[in-house]
Amino acid sequence: MFVDLNYEPSRDDLVCTFYLEPKGISIEEAAESLAGESSIGTWTEVKTLKENIKRLAAKVFSIEGNIVKVAYPSELFEEGNMPQILSGIAGNIFGLKTIENLRLVDVEFPESLVKSFKGPKFGIDGIRKMFKIYDRPLIGTIVKPKVGLSAKEHAEVAYEAWVNGVDIVKDDENLADMKFNRFEERLKETLKAKERAENETGEKKGYLINVTASALKMIERAKLVEEHGNEYIMIDIITSGFSALQALRELDLNLAIHAHRAGHAAFTRKKKHGISMKVVAKISRIIGVDQLHIGTFGVGKMKGSPEEDREYQKALTEELFGIKKVLPVASGGLHPRVVPELIKKAGIDIVVQAGGGIHGHLRGTAGGAKAMRAAVEAAASGISLEEAAKKSEDLRIALEQWK
């Protein structure tokens, strides 16, 4: 009932691609169980399964090696409800004892479901318009150390980064409302520093404050950020959950949403089991983030490859029923020397985000910011770092420091 290799998915079907390793049964039998459990089936025959309900059955329409493709009628899913969609296509199936390994590799959403969500409010074009930067990647940093600084100390580090060439400063993923650094005080102090930097440089600057918390508290914080005139918020989308992210986006505040993916590797890292980062990227885009961490195309400290990160980038930027493109964020072990290779692999529609690669500079945050700005501008213009270093002492030092 659930395997039909002659079935051709309709434009209204949601199509999932799985990597599947059966346990003790054939792959066809395992695929049958997968499709049944994720749609209308159960472990035994039930009298309540009437003929008219069978039209809602998921259909396994392709089995090639361990790659299984399943089509789901869109009627199975509540529009505008990502948790319910995921409960179907990425729910109980991971616990089936007849399956040794299972990985959700990709999801193709039908137009009806995509358009039932808000999607990004700003996207790449909106963010570039905000900063009036069109010919190079945006430059970002994270205030370091991750935690421990007071609100005023945090603001001063942000100011040093901004005034010396950084465009965007963000909180780290584990900084929230701490006793040593209260959320509201940090917001006020850092926005004052941001205004100083904008006045001194004549450039737009961005502050991505971390609103991650329980859904209600997060909404309260986001509203406070908007009231204070900031343009950005940040949320840890995995640990907060897609439901909380969706609630935040549906507020439709005049805030760009920066999505941090802390925790994703718990289920994306293994190649044979879990959920791919590509799926996370698509879901996040459909719900409505404006920026998302995707990796460093193999040049940074985090596990990943250029090919994988390119797939994630594609998920954020390819045509998807007219919804806006999400700005990919490259982050994790970046420093000025790797910038040309990163831009060569990723293009300029990214955020080059460095923490230690800026604050760890021998001349401190100021020197690191200047070096990164020089490296990004040179690489985006096709100028070698060695040539650019002749005009930037800070870049020269960075190139000697990180070889």
Catalytic residues: 144, 260
Look at residue 149 and give its three-state secondary structure.
coil
Q: How far is CA 382 from CA 17, 330, 344, 348, in A?
A: 39, 20, 10, 12
Which letter does DSSP use for residue 178 in this model? B
- Which is nearest to 242 in space by CA: 281, 297, 195, 194? 281
Q: Are 357 and 339 in contact (CB under 8 A)?
A: no
- Amino acid identity of residue 388, one-letter, is A
Q: How far is CA 290 from CA 73, 238, 240, 245, 285, in A?
A: 29, 16, 17, 12, 7
Q: Are 36 and 42 in contact (CB under 8 A)?
A: yes
Give phi and psi for 362, each to the nearest 5: -60, -25
First to last CA, the chain: 59
Which letter does DSSP use for residue 38 in this model? T
Look at residue 27 and give its three-state secondary structure.
helix
Strand segments, DSSP code E, in 74-118 are 99-108
Task: For the sheet with 67-73, list strands across it.
Answer: 59-64, 67-73, 13-22, 99-108, 274-275
CA 329 to chain centre: 8
CA 259 to chain centre: 5
Distance, CA of 182 to CA of 198 (rounded, Å): 24
Residue that the structure tokens 């049964």 belong to: 25
* Strand partners for 327: 291
